[in-house]
Amino acid sequence: MTEALVLTTGQLELRVYQGDLTQVHADAIVNAANPAMNPGGGVDGAINLAAGPRLAPLQRSLGPLAVGAAVLTPGFDLPAKFIIHTVGPIYRPEAHARVSQQLQQCYQSCLDLAAAQELTSIAFPAISTGVYGFPIGLSLPLVASVLRTFGRQPSSIRRVDLVCFKTAAAASYQEYFAVDFGETIFR
């Protein structure tokens, strides 16, 4: 894990860093699932491996899942109590407005579900920016907008971690959020 950029927006503490999502101690981590909810590669594969064999059959039973929707499962062998599964959009430039809205819906659905469960912390990967091809630079303002709006609302959630697997992605996230939120606190 790299040093975290720590910011505040409304009632939320945001922590932005490079690390392994499966090692994060939070009430919930977010899984970037596929619509069929079949365990796959990337974030989904890592979460399934770390959570143990009980996750896969349960995950499959919850499919299909619409893009932007979110469902909750136990964390099983993870340090996180729960996993919130969401399906991000596949980026297509000709559908930019629609996929941008869907990406924001992923983050919003996960936050709403976590709040409905009265969770206090949630950790997100960089949804859709891997094999689904959503450019990180285009995703950052969308994610920031959702978090800024959510932070102004009453909620049980107090901490949101944005956990990037790749160092370059983490650097992009930290640079964007430091400028956008006007903070440069590292811990």
Q: For the chain, what are the domain ranges?
A: 5-186
Q: Which of 4-13, 20-29, 52-61, 106-115 has the lowest mean pLDDT?
A: 4-13
Q: List residues with catalytic annotation.
A: 44
Identify the pLDDT of residue 181.
Answer: 79
Give the distance, in angstroms, between the CA of residue 71 and the centroid of all CA atoms in the same chain.
13
End-to-end CA distance of the chain: 11
Per-residue confidence (pLDDT) for residue 84, from 0 to 100: 98
Asked whether the predicted pLDDT for residue 5 surpasses 50, the reply is yes
Q: What is the pLDDT of residue 1?
A: 67
Domain 5-186, architecture per CATH: 3-Layer(aba) Sandwich (3.40)
pTM of the model: 0.95
183 pLDDT tier (thresholds 50, 70, 90): low
**pLDDT at residue 9 in the model:** 87
Residues 6+ apart with CB under 8 A from 151: 9, 10, 11, 12
Q: Are 48 and 55 in contact (CB under 8 A)?
A: yes
| Distances from the Cα of 120 to the Cα of 27, 102, 128, 159, angstroms | 7, 24, 24, 6
User: What's the average model confidence in pLDDT over 106-117?
Assistant: 98
- pLDDT tens profile 31-74: 999 999 999 999 999 999 999 999 999 999 999 999 999 999 99
Q: Which two tokens stand for residue 126?
A: 């960089």
